[in-house]
Amino acid sequence: MSATANTSGVAPGTSSARVPAELSLRGLTVSFGDNLIVKDLSLDIAKGEFVTMVGPSGCGKSTTLNAVAGLLGSVPGSRVSGTAAIGDAVRLAYAFQRDALLPWATAQHNVEVGAELAGMSRSERPARAKELLNHVGLFGIEDRYPHQLSGGMRQRVSLARALAYEPDLFLLDEPFGALDAFTRMDLQNKLLELWAETQMTMVLVTHDLAEALVLGTKVVVLSAHPGQVHQIVDNTEWGVERKAEELRTRPEFLEKYRVLFDTLVQLSESSRKEVQA
């Protein structure tokens, strides 16, 4: 699903400045009933960074994003402590694992929803929606409904809608997980292009280690349940302008992938031993 929001769980300030957000987590702890999911997680994300997050299944990656977006308050039995502070006057968008396009609305109108939430006038929305659809590689599909689009096309519409909202902070929870390999890599490149153009702050959760390394200026590795920051991998040497297919062939990329894979294996094995003990 995909959605936009104007709250982060921490009330934004009153400044009117439109700058990329800075996200600071301090001692974030989340539990559902007696099940501790995230424990004392602290992390700083600078303005304009593209941060990816990986870790063993159940380590609280998606829960962390939901806490930042302020989505856990209505979940029965949830308890959240610590702080998730973002910059003043921040617009936050959230892309979930599956798109949440309005089934009764065309691709054009779905994108216009984001522009409407951003405060754009009704007369300006159609042109802006078409511009953004073209920008994500969709041409001539403005009048199609979601059921007439492929999974990759729906994700592109979802991405265009989020961009129409003009977010400063963009959270993405495995938005490409259900796509085929070619479409997934194509959308990774498109996301990198959009990030380079806008320099918005992005935080993406994924189980795909190669995707994490390709997209992230840094990769945050969470420990097994309960989730804590285990390691941060710096990828700033990749530069801003990069292509997924080219980067994956570099020896230094392959070495980072091997080390990251071994780390995840060790974390998973340690978790299993603790459960069995």
Q: With helix as H, strand as E and coil as C, how does 64-93 read? A: HHHHHCCCCCCCCCEEEEEEEEECCCCCEE
Q: pLDDT value at position 14? A: 29
Residue 73: per-residue pLDDT = 79
Q: Which of 12, 11, 44 is nearest to 26 (CA)?
A: 44
Does pLDDT of 1 surpass 80? Answer: no
Contacts of 136 (CB under 8 A, 6+ apart): 156, 157, 159, 160, 163, 190, 194
Length, in residues, of the chain: 277
Contact of 212 with 235, CB cutoff 8 Å: no
Q: Cis (ω within 30 of 0) for the bond into 12? A: no
| Predicted local distance difference test score (pLDDT) of residue 18 | 45
In this predicted model, what pLDDT tens digit does every residue of 194-236 receive, in sequence order?
899 888 999 999 999 999 999 999 999 999 889 999 999 999 9
Q: What percent of the chain has pLDDT over 90?
A: 60
Task: Give CA–CA dist 133/131, Å, rounded.
Answer: 6
Highest mean pLDDT among 176-180, 206-210, 235-239: 206-210
**CA dist., res. 20 & res. 89, Å (int):** 10
Residue type, 4: T
| Cross-strand bridge partners of residue 200 | none
- Mind listing the pLDDT tens digit for each residue in 45-101? 999 999 999 999 889 999 999 999 888 877 888 899 998 888 777 889 998 888 889
Retrieve residue 135's tokens. 């920008």
User: Residue 249's Cα: distance from chain center in Å?
Assistant: 25
d(CA 233, CA 189): 21
pLDDT of 2 above 60: no
What is the chain's mean pLDDT, rounded? 86
